[in-house]
């Protein structure tokens, strides 16, 4: 007989999981691409003017959730796409964003680089999350479909027809529709490409980077126990190049914490499919248990309601493409 093996590890040898400051809600005031900036500051002013009523409604809702007599902690952020396209410079883009928001009575507390969701200096958040993906198994899974770390794909149900090879002489089973794992009477099947491989290496998809972004805002990512991409103060000047800009820049010295118990994103309707894909990804991320315990314990201590499901902590306001309006 083989004796069972036992592994002993000193508690002090295990990395301590650091906590991060938490607001009640993180409100994303927008996520725009290069073409959205082509109309200049007037185009940005239209964007902030359109979302201003929604921000006010969200602030009131957070106050209700925090409870009577409690001051809600709300931070705002803005994500700039410098991953798929490099354009202009941070000092020009951020200055216009701050001015356009201020003209509509809004304050941007934090600005983040989308590229930092892939590479944040000595930490690669996208790789951290990839290692924590645990695909949701479907009933009758045959194991033919490779794991997402190899295939670059995630789904929310059984794979569509043609994913499992059959012997050449096997009888045709006919059409077999894809099935959502947690369907409500009818299926909504989603397949999400999380990365592709090209001549320049791995290219992360927009939905996947958006998933990493949500995990950062929820304070759920750690690397060897340390918070990932903590915000850095802006200093006495804005960065002149994207390479100089830290992953997350704190513009407002008096801002509430960047990460929060819940998130709310103000996005154009064109992002709706992307955010549906974010839900598929996040539902299959195995977040560090100690991090989850810390956040849940702190929320309970404040009497702030917090769903166990990460996806349920994320809210959206989808509107028309406000930057394209006349």
74-101 pLDDT tens trace:
999 999 999 988 788 999 999 999 999 9
Which residue range(s) make up the domain with 50?
20-116+205-324
Query: 92 is written with which tokens?
Result: 């020009």
Low-confidence residues of the chain: pLDDT under 50: 1-2, 4, 7-8, 10-12, 161-162, 164-165, 168, 322-326
Residue 123 within any structural domain of the chain: no
Residue 156 within any structural domain of the chain: no
- What SS3 class is residue 276? helix
Residue 125 within any structural domain of the chain: no
Q: At CA 234, angle to CA 229 and CA 236, rounded to 5?
A: 155
Exposure string of 227-246, with b = 16+ CB inside 10 Å and e = fewer, is: bbbbbeebeeebbeebeebb
Residue 189 within any structural domain of the chain: no
**Is 276 buried (19+), middle (13-18) or exposed (0-12) by CB count in 10 A?**
middle
Look at the chain and report how many structural domains it folds into. 1
Digit-coded pLDDT (tens) for 213-250: 999 999 999 999 999 999 999 999 999 999 899 999 99
Residue 8 within any structural domain of the chain: no
Residue 80 within any structural domain of the chain: yes
Provide the H-helix boundaries in 181-268.
Answer: 206-217
Residue 200's pLDDT is: 84
Residue 104 within any structural domain of the chain: yes
Residue 27's pLDDT is: 98
Residue 185 within any structural domain of the chain: no
- Tell me how far apart the alpha carbons of residues 211 and 310 are, in angstroms, rounded to a whole number: 11
In 3D, which of 47, 283, 29 has the Cα closest to residue 181?
A: 283
- Tell me how far apart the alpha carbons of residues 263 and 217 are, in angstroms, rounded to a whole number: 7
């Amino acid at each position: 007989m083989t004796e069972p093996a036992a592994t002993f590890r000193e508690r002090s040898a295990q990395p301590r999981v650091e906590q991060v400051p938490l607001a009640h809600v993180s409100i994303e005031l927008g996520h725009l691409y290069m073409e959205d900036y082509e109309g200049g500051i007037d185009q940005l002013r239209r964007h902030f003017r359109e979302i201003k009523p929604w921000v006010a409604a969200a602030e009131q809702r957070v106050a209700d959730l925090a409870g009577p007599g409690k001051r809600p902690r709300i931070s705002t952020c803005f994500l700039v796409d410098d991953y798929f396209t490099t354009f202009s410079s941070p000092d020009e883009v951020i200055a216009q964003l701050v001015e356009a928001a201020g003209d509509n009575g809004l304050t941007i507390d934090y600005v983040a680089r989308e590229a930092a969701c892939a590479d944040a200096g000595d930490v690669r958040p996208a790789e951290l999350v990839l290692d924590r993906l645990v695909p949701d198994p479907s009933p009758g899974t045959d194991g033919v479909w490779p794991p997402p770390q190899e295939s670059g794909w995630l789904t929310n149900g059984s794979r569509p027809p043609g994913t499992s090879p059959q012997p050449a002489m096997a009888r045709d089973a006919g059409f077999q529709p894809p099935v959502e794992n947690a369907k409500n009477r009818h299926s909504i099947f989603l397949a999400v490409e999380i990365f592709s491989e090209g001549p320049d290496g791995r290219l992360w998809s927009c939905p996947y980077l958006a998933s990493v972004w949500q995990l950062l805002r929820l304070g759920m990512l750690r690397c060897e126990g340390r918070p990932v991409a903590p915000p850095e103060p802006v200093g006495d000047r804005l960065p002149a190049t994207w390479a100089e800009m830290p992953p997350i820049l704190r513009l407002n010295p008096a801002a509430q914490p960047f990460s929060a118990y819940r998130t709310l994103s103000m996005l154009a309707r064109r992002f709706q499919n992307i955010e549906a894909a974010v839900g598929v990804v996040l539902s299959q991320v195995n977040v560090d248990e100690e991090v989850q315990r810390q956040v849940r314990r702190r929320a309970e201590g404040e009497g702030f309601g917090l769903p166990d499901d990460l996806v349920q902590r994320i809210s959206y306001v989808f509107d028309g493409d406000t930057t394209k309006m006349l």
